[in-house]
Amino acid sequence: MSVKTEGGGGTVSGDDARLKKEFGTVGLLFTAIGSIIGSGWLFSSLHASEQAGPAAIISWIVGTIMFLLIGLSYAELGVMFPRSGGVARYPHYAWGSFASYSMGWVTWLSCAAVASVEVSAVLTYAASYLHWLEHANATLTGTGLIIAIALMALFVAINYLGVKWFARINNTMVWWKLAMMVLVIVAVIVSTFHFGNFSLHTKDGSGFAPYGIKSAFEAIPAAGIAFSFLGWRQGIELAGETDNPKRNVPLTLIGSVVICGVLYILLQVAFIGAQDPTALAAHGWHDVGSLIKTGSDAGNFSPLATLATVLGMSWLAGLLYADAFISPGDTGLIYTSVTARMSYAMGRNRNAPAVLAKVNDNGVPWPSLILAWVVGCIFFLPFPSWQALVGIVTSLTVLSFGSGAIALLTFRKQIPEVERPYRAKGVWIIAPLALLSTNLIMYWAGWDQVWKMMCAVVLGYVLLGIFELTDRGPIRRAPQLDFRYGWWVLLWFAGILLVSYLGSYSGTSTTNAGQANVYGFNGGIIANIILTAVVLAVAWYCQLPGDRVREILAEPELEVDGPEPAAI
């Protein structure tokens, strides 16, 4: 068994040759950057400041390091098996269908929700001018719902045309978004910057961390910081459609996190330094949002644009209101594509209907695109605030990332003979830290988010049961579940639930609501270290035998839309 490459790229045996290899270096990198810079950059500086004060800078630094570790754990996998929808497919190779379905379900659900969140963000900003788009409680009107559905359909249409058109449109939008972030950072710092804000004494706290270091870590999932970084995954999800995986996948995974991390940190510094110190001292960081409003409700929609208005830069505010359409819209476009690739991957793994793996002449999984549109439209039902919704999306997505770190280790034992064009160094340090990072982010999201996330996981297992019960034809389509190897996933999920319940992060305005509150900040870190060690040990023990992995890799996956490519 070998992985075939030509010139560091080319086709990989066992991949779907019908997918077009049209993502170049810039195209793949910009897809990840464009996905990272969505509605998050317009909201997160405000929410992080409200939760942690100047210590929000620590939130961004720690968040950047965490997602860099997670991205590094996937770099070897993405080059070794450059398959579209890789987050769902790697567990399939390492532990079989049950683990694959578990990771694929939570990933697909979260991706489908992100596109809707971004479209909602576009319409929310537009409602500051077009009031008929939303009701007074910020839910969509009938007309607003029709426009939202139409925007989702536009994303599907662009994706249907193929990767080349998608990349061209996205590249243009990303250049705009990068330029806007740099412009805002420079303009705000040059306009006004109060160094004293970073150690200011306010009515409800003093110094760099007025609410304690705990609040800085809690802000990572709650303020949208982790949500802002989720787009690094595009280097994995679209790896089967790039012309040179060896070069482009690691560059995308690492480069997108580093570039966006630096910009986000500088933006947070600029936002903190731009606040009026006199007003801050009187009201505190918790009320910083109300301090930058100018008598209208615009601050609810675009904090940065409102801040620019307060600082006398109406020209910058105008550009930011325009960007409020472009940034979330581009990210919604990207996530529509990624959601389709996830259901395509599950169809290829044979634990979802076969029709989802069909592709058109442009190499696009069109039935999966339609499904992404339908499910995305369902998410337009009334939701709580942007900040509350991104918490559950973040938890679901981060949950799916953890399996990659373990698969990186198990593949070293299961299939050591497979060529690794990119071989990660220090995997026994990177992988455990990456898994610990995923566990901590979910823990800091709070009990209120974790139990909702687990309800979504249970729903997925109900659907899996239905799929298994109805797959009783003369030829069984679904693969064997390999439950004896994948059951460790249930142990991990139960551990996340238990550690969260026993902890002190509620994720609600009511302190410790519905929790045991057995341990505090330090105890929570220790509990997650223990959970990480247990999950690593059990998952390592449960790994599929090497022969079974080779058998899965050699399986003809599906006969749809013409002959299949050669198997490994």
Distance CA 78, CA 548 (A): 21
- Tell me the pLDDT tens digit for each residue of 463-484: 888 877 776 655 555 667 889 9
Contacts of 169 (CB under 8 A, 6+ apart): 158, 333
Q: Which helix (H) or strand (E) holds 206?
A: strand 205-206
More confident residue, 191 or 164: 191
Q: Are 144 and 123 contacting, i.e. CB atoms less than 8 angstroms apart?
A: yes
Tokens at 134, concatenated: 């939303």
Q: Which residue has the tokens 């942690």?
A: 52
Phi-psi region of 379 (alpha: psi -120 to 50; beta: other; left: phi over 0): alpha
Least confident of 77-81, 142-146, 291-295: 291-295
Distance CA 209, CA 49 (A): 10
Asked whether the CA dihedral 445, 448, 451, 454 is positive or negative, the reply is negative
Reported confidence tier of residue 17, pLDDT bands at 50, 70, 90: low
- Tell me the pLDDT tens digit for each residue of 138-164: 667 888 888 888 988 888 887 777 656
Name the amino acid, one letter, at 290: S
Rounded to 5 degrees, φ, ψ at 224 are 90, 10
Asked whether the CA dihedral 36, 41, 47, 49 is positive or negative, the reply is positive
- Tell me the pLDDT tens digit for each residue of 167-180: 667 678 888 889 99
3-class SS at 324? helix
Predicted confidence at residue 128, as pLDDT, reads: 67
Residue 318 in this model has a pLDDT that exceeds 70:
yes
| Burial environment of residue 465 by CB neighbours within 10 A (0 to 12, 13 to 18, 19 or more) | exposed
Does the pTM surpass 0.85? The reply is no
Predicted confidence at residue 465, as pLDDT, reads: 84
Distance CA 437, CA 42 (A): 25
Distance CA 450, CA 148 (A): 29
Measuring CA to CA, which residue among 31, 20, 92, 90 is closest to residue 240?
20
Residue 567 in this model has a pLDDT that exceeds 60:
no
More confident residue, 441 or 365: 441
Q: Are 499 and 533 contacting, i.e. CB atoms less than 8 angstroms apart?
A: no
User: What is the percent of the chain with per-residue pLDDT over 70, rounded to a whole number?
Assistant: 81
Cα angle 121, 125, 130 (rounded to 5 degrees) comes to: 125
Reported confidence tier of residue 386, pLDDT bands at 50, 70, 90: low
Predicted confidence at residue 21, as pLDDT, reads: 57
- Tell me the pLDDT tens digit for each residue of 332-373: 777 787 787 777 777 776 666 777 778 777 667 788 888 888
Predicted confidence at residue 560, as pLDDT, reads: 46
Reported confidence tier of residue 533, pLDDT bands at 50, 70, 90: very high
Q: Are 397 and 110 contacting, i.e. CB atoms less than 8 angstroms apart?
A: yes
Q: Which helix (H) or strand (E) holds 361?
A: none
* Rg of the chain on CA atoms, in Å: 23
Q: Which DSSP category does 559 fall into? A: -
Biggest distance spanned by C-alpha atoms of the chain:
76
Q: Are 230 and 26 contacting, i.e. CB atoms less than 8 angstroms apart?
A: no
Q: Which residue has the tokens 């990272």?
A: 36
3-class SS at 10? coil
Q: Which DSSP category does 518 fall into? A: -
Average pLDDT score over residue span 123-149: 77
Q: Are 51 and 222 contacting, i.e. CB atoms less than 8 angstroms apart?
A: yes
User: What is the percent of the chain with per-residue pLDDT over 90, rounded to a whole number?
Assistant: 23
3-class SS at 140? strand
- Domain residue ranges in the chain: 25-435+547-554
Q: Which helix (H) or strand (E) holds 460?
A: helix 447-470
Residue 79 in this model has a pLDDT that exceeds 60:
yes
Predicted confidence at residue 366, as pLDDT, reads: 82
Distance CA 467, CA 461 (A): 10
Reported confidence tier of residue 95, pLDDT bands at 50, 70, 90: very high
| Burial environment of residue 526 by CB neighbours within 10 A (0 to 12, 13 to 18, 19 or more) | exposed
Predicted confidence at residue 542, as pLDDT, reads: 92
Name the amino acid, one letter, at 249: V
Cα angle 363, 366, 371 (rounded to 5 degrees) comes to: 150
- Tell me the pLDDT tens digit for each residue of 43-68: 889 889 988 999 999 999 999 999 99
Name the amino acid, one letter, at 167: A
Asked whether the CA dihedral 14, 16, 18, 21 is positive or negative, the reply is negative
Predicted confidence at residue 9, as pLDDT, reads: 39
Q: CATH for 25-435+547-554?
A: 1.20.1740.10
Residue 393 in this model has a pLDDT that exceeds 50:
yes
Reported confidence tier of residue 23, pLDDT bands at 50, 70, 90: low
Least confident of 2-6, 168-172, 178-182, 453-457: 2-6
Predicted confidence at residue 388, as pLDDT, reads: 56
Distance CA 491, CA 98 (A): 13
Distance CA 471, CA 353 (A): 10
More confident residue, 2 or 308: 308
Least confident of 11-15, 130-134, 260-264, 498-502: 11-15
Report the chain's mean pLDDT, rounded to a whole number: 80
Cα angle 383, 385, 388 (rounded to 5 degrees) comes to: 95
- Tell me the pLDDT tens digit for each residue of 236-268: 766 666 667 778 888 888 899 999 999 999 999
Predicted confidence at residue 414, as pLDDT, reads: 92
Predicted confidence at residue 554, as pLDDT, reads: 77
Predicted confidence at residue 238, as pLDDT, reads: 67
Q: Which DSSP category does 530 fall into? A: H
Q: Which DSSP category does 6 fall into? A: B
